Amino acid sequence: MPVAAVYPHYVAKVEKKRHTVDELDELICWLTGYSPAELQAHLEAETTFKDFFAGAKLNDNAHLITGVICGVRVEEIEDPFMQQVRYLDKIVDELARGKKMSSIKRGAS
């Protein structure tokens, strides 16, 4: 599945709670190590989630993302790829719930 197919749902989720696309993109870039231009290129190319995360340099603090998403504890997911997808889902949820950016980024400024 391409990231671009899910991205509009992320945008709708955060905008519904009065957050911006820029905030969403900032978090995605924080998690993946992509620049905003690289993120946009992946969206335009309709890169699959598998390839998107295969090319990412996951943030060193990503392992600090914990909690439940879709009824499953993120930190207990054994498949690295699925865990990365759920990390993304979790930080999007946290933004939509109004958590501070510094907290979502696990202490990063």
Q: What does the pLDDT look like over 7-46, one tens digit per residue?
A: 999 999 999 999 999 999 999 999 999 999 999 999 999 9
Q: What residues form DSSP beta bridges with 2?
A: 48
Tens of pLDDT along 76-105?
999 999 999 999 999 999 999 999 999 999
- Residue 107, class by beta-carbon neighbours within 10 Å (0-12 exposed, 13-18 middle, 19+ buried)? exposed
Q: Would the pTM count as exceeding 0.85?
A: yes
SS (H, E, C) 44-93: HHCCEHHHHHHCCCCCCCHHHCCCEECCEEHHHCCCHHHHHHHHHHHHHH
Q: How many CB atoms lie within 10 A of CB 72?
A: 13
- Picking from 25, 24, 96, 90, the residue whose alpha carbon sits closest to that of residue 62 is 90
Fold exhibited by the domain 3-101? Helicase, Ruva Protein; domain 3 (1.10.8)
